[in-house]
Structure formats: structure tokens, C-alpha cells
Amino acid sequence: LLLPRNVYNVVVLGAGGVGKTALVTRFVKKEFTERHVPTVEDLYEKPLHLRKGVSAFLQVLDTAGTYHFPAMRKVTLQFGDAFILVYSVNDSDSLNEALKLQQEIYAAKGRDDVPMVLVGNKCDLASGTDKHLESHALASSLSRGKNCILAETSAKFDVNVTGVFTALMAQVALANSPR
Ligand code: GDP
């Protein structure tokens, strides 16, 4: 199977209910629905315009976060060229879960320069509250992986959703550039 070189596998991970599916469907289909039926994994394809004359083709894997078999999870982590770790800005447990997943990715890949965006979703719910500021401070202090950046989004109101994917591709370019 021959794939053009600008195809990237993006894996979206995070605790249940943080808005993974909402982010992916907002990005891929420009839609938001209040409810969805959770599935184990869904794969979406979407071209992303990066700059004049340059596009990337993304295969986005929306995961349900729970796996009955650890081996399956490992395969999922191996599949990813780049990762979106989602937490909800009003739920500090979900941030801890995202940070655990970050370590799991580094372990599965055997390196710590994996392109990644740590995304605080649902920023429409908690903007400016103490909880929000706390989670942001914690996320900033802990997301020290190389090539891992922070972003905040609202899948509901389409805030910064495409920006996350564009920023992720910039991290991929950075990881692939000679240092
Ligand atoms: P997943 O389990 O991580 O895939 O989460 P879902 O995408 O199913 O979202 C869980 C719930 O959060 C749903 O009721 C969504 O409508 C809601 N939700 C997702 N993103 C946002 C957001 O940005 N803002 C708000 N207010 N709700 C959201």
C-alpha cells in the first residue's frame, strides 16, 4: 500500500465525556450534537489546508478511552503519528487522566518528542472561573513534553477547533525537522 507522504494519523484520547467526539465531528463535519452513541473507535478522514499550496491529509481516530485488552490500546498508540489529549476545563480528574495518557504514549513510543496537543475543551463552561484558572496552571506546569503544546477549545461554539489540528501539524513538522 502506497500512501502519499503527507498523510498523518492523529489519535484523540481522553477521559469519557470530555468532548473527544464533539471535537472530531466539529473539525470533520462542522457539526455539534449534544448526544452521541459511544463506540470503541471511529476513524475519520479530512484534508487540512496548512499554508498556500500545502495540505495534509489527516486520518483522525476518535477513541472511547476504554479498552478491554491492553494489547488493543498499544496498537492504537502505535498507530498515531500525533496525538490530541483532551480534558475538560471544568473537570480536574479528566486533566489527570490526560496526563496519565501522555506518559502512556511516551512509554508506548519509547520517546518523549511525540507531537501532541493537550486540549482543555469546554472553555465556554468555565471561562475565567477559579477552577478554569487552576486547571490551566496545572496543565501548563505538567505538559512539559517536547513538542507538546497547550490549547483551549469549545467544540460547542467552534472555538479554536481547527487551530488545534493546525497546531498539531506544526508540531509534526517541528518533530521531523533536523535539529
Ligand atoms: P467524549 O466521550 O469525550 O467523546 O465526549 P462527547 O463528545 O460525547 O461529549 C460529551 C458531552 O459534552 C456531550 O453532551 C457534548 O455535547 C458535551 N460537550 C462536548 N464539547 C463541549 C463543549 O465544548 N462545550 C460544552 N458546553 N459541552 C460540550
The residue whose C-alpha atom lies closest to atom 6 belonging to ligand 1 is 19
pLDDT tens series, the chain, 179 aa: 555 568 999 999 999 999 999 999 999 999 998 877 777 788 999 999 888 888 899 999 998 866 667 777 888 899 999 999 999 999 989 999 999 999 999 999 999 899 999 999 999 997 777 777 777 777 777 666 788 999 999 999 999 999 999 999 999 988 887 76
Q: pTM of the prediction?
A: 0.91
What is the best residue among 36, 44, 62, 87 to mutate for testing ligand 1's pocket, by most ligand atoms within 8 Å of CB? 36
Q: How far is CA 148 from each of CA 4, 63, 125, 168, rounded to the nearest angstrom?
A: 25, 20, 24, 9
Evaluate whether ipTM surpasses 0.85.
yes
- SS3 of residue 7 by DSSP: strand
